[in-house]
């Protein structure tokens, strides 16, 4: 067999193992996820069993013209998601190379590596889902866009303020405009490590590879959306009363909007559900829920006092003179609320468990 094949197999076993190690470190230290960590480790170890001395001894790094070649993208990876994506790509490519050249080395290597490649695809999909849900649970502030000449500048300014969840909502634009706007916003959100959700339209969410879709009571049912979107993507549902809320949870929504807390020109004609809907959600809702409708710098305190831990806004950010500052203001209020709740929780636990008190 040609020595080049040994070198190809050696290089790609290394490449796949290194990529897996990068992914494993995030599963272990970033996600504290024992199962994913174990899966990466297992795959690495299995690859190691194929890295025989005949392949290792073919290595000739000084004469390898590929060692000096790098791509500009390798130097800059904006977010953890980019790091993971690049390394999954690396592992999958390396496994494919092993599979193909393995055919002229040992058929059993080809079989084993093919099986591993499918395991890596599954792991990638599980990690994407996990990453999305973790970000959703962490998000306290949710911006819904409104049509504006400066929509991109406003959303970017909001992302600079630390926003991590954005919904693209435009009820009037034509489909081509929606497609272009959604594409650009999705790219921008992902550059800043934020989730990107599309309002109403499952087809548009799929077309731009959004993180999910938001559906109202008159949009597609959640079950059907789940069939179309799969388990990887987030599905949000609007709720306006206790029945809507109960149903959305039963149907498997990942999060809900709860409102309108106050009447709002953004959703003219819809009567306010009031702070009672916030109190009800606090008691009854086990999934992330965002109070919505008429929430701004003046009303947010009452909404938080009624029990909301997450809020969603349109005008308060889209029409703010300084969206970055507006986001920082909301985040500070939400964070203060979270800290005081954690303090209360620990104080309660201490009072129960501290034997010296």
Ligand X SMILES: Cc1ncc(COP(=O)(O)OP(=O)(O)O)c(N)n1
Site residues, ligand X (CB under 6 A) = 142, 144, 167, 169, 199-200, 214, 216, 219, 236, 238, 257, 290, 292, 312
> Residue 142's binding partner, choosing from ligand 3NM, Mg ion, ligand X, none, with beta-carbon cut-off 5 to 8 A by kind?
ligand X
**Catalytic residue from among 17, 44, 90, 169:** 169
C-alpha 34/C-alpha 310 separation (Å) is: 29
Annotate 109-123 with b (16+ C-beta within 10 A) or e (fewer): bbebbeebbeebeeb
Peptide bond into 260 cis (omega under 30): yes
Catalytic: which of 186, 238, 310, 337? 238
- CB proximity list for 227: less than 8 A, separation 6 or greater: none
Residue with CB nearest ligand X?
216
**Residue 340 falls in the annotated catalytic set:** no
Q: Tell me the residue length of the chain.
A: 357
Give catalytic status of residue 238 as yes or no. yes
Residue 200 found at the interface with Mg ion (CB under 5 A): yes
Enumerate residues 267-296 that contact ligand 3NM by CB under 6 A.
267, 292-295
Tell me, rounded to whole angstroms, the distance of Cα 202 from its chain centroid.
Answer: 17
Please, which of residues 218-237 interact with Mg ion by CB under 5 A? 219
Q: State the sign of the Cα–Cα–Cα–Cα dihedral 150, 151, 154, 157.
A: negative
Contact between 146 and Mg ion by CB under 5 A: the answer reads no
Helix (H/G/I), strand (E/B), else coil: 42: helix
Nearer to ligand X, 123 or 144 (CB): 144
Distances 246 to 151, 216, 242, 252 between C-alpha atoms, Å: 34, 14, 6, 10
Name the binder of 7 from Mg ion, ligand X, ligand 3NM, none, CB < 5-8 A by kind: none
| Active site (annotated) includes residue 57 | no
Q: Which residues are catalytic?
A: 169, 238, 267
**Residues interacting with ligand 3NM, by CB under 6 A?**
144, 238, 257, 259-260, 264, 266-267, 292-295, 313-316
């Amino acid at each position: 067999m040609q020595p080049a094949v040994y070198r190809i197999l050696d290089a790609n076993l290394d490449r796949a193992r290194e990529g897996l190690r990068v992914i494993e470190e995030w599963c272990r230290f970033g996600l504290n996820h024992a199962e994913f960590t174990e899966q990466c480790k297992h795959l690495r170890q299995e690859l190691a069993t194929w890295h025989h001395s005949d392949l290792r001894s073919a290595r000739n790094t000084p004469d390898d013209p590929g060692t000096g070649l790098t791509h500009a993208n390798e130097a800059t990876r904006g977010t953890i998601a980019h790091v993971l994506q690049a390394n999954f790509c690396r592992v999958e490519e390396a496994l494919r190379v092993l599979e193909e050249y393995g055919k002229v080395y040992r058929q059993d290597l080809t079989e084993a590596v093919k099986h591993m490649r499918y395991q890596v695809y599954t792991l990638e999909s599980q990690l994407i889902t996990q990453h999305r849900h973790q970000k959703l649970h962490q998000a306290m502030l949710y911006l819904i866009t409104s049509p504006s000449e400066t929509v991109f500048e406003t959303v970017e300014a909001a992302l600079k303020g630390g926003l991590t969840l954005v919904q693209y909502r435009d009820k009037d634009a034509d489909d081509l405009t929606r497609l272009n706007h959604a594409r650009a916003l999705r790219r921008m959100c992902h550059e800043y490590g934020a989730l990107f959700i599309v309002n109403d339209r499952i087809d548009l969410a799929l077309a731009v590879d959004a993180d999910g879709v938001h559906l109202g009571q008159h949009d597609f049912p959640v079950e059907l959306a789940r069939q179309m979107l799969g388990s990887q993507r987030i599905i949000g549902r609007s709720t306006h009363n206790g029945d809507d809320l109960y149903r959305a949870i039963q149907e498997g929504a990942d999060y809900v909007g709860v409102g309108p807390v106050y009447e709002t020109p953004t959703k003219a004609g819809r009567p306010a559900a009031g702070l009672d809907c916030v109190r009800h959600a606090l008691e009854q809702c086990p999934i992330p829920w965002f109070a919505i409708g008429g929430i701004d710098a003046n009303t947010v305190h009452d909404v938080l006092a009624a029990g909301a831990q997450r809020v969603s806004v349109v005008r308060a950010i889209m029409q703010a003179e300084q969206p970055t500052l507006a986001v920082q203001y909301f985040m500070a209020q939400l964070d203060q609320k979270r800290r005081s709740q954690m303090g209360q929780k620990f104080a309660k636990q201490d009072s129960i468990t501290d034997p010296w008190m």
